[in-house]
Amino acid sequence: MAEPAPEVLETALQIEDFRRAYELPPSLGEVLKEAGIEEGIEERGMEPEEWSQFGAVIKTMEEFEEAYITFREKVADFACSVKAR
């Protein structure tokens, strides 16, 4: 929960994918402004509906799906071997 070193954050924010995932989306920035919170708000992040097209999310979901299919096949093979006994 510690704040990142400013120079590390500055470097990371130059990477578009990091910035889009790290910063607030404009819609949330507006909510915070309406609540009177304006200092330090950067609104260059992704809106919720954009996450499903974000490269890191796509990669993670593909890896999860592959792991699940492998697990499902192992469970089915085990169940068949138990039934055959």
pLDDT at 1 (0 to 100): 79
Percent of the chain having pLDDT more than 70?
A: 100
Cβ neighbours for 24, distance < 8 A, ≥ 6 positions apart: 32, 41, 42, 43, 45
What does each of the 85 residues of the chain score in pLDDT, given as a tens digit? 788 999 999 999 999 999 999 999 999 999 999 999 988 888 999 999 999 999 999 999 999 999 999 999 999 999 999 887 7
Give the count of alpha carbons within 13 A of 15, CB side only: 8
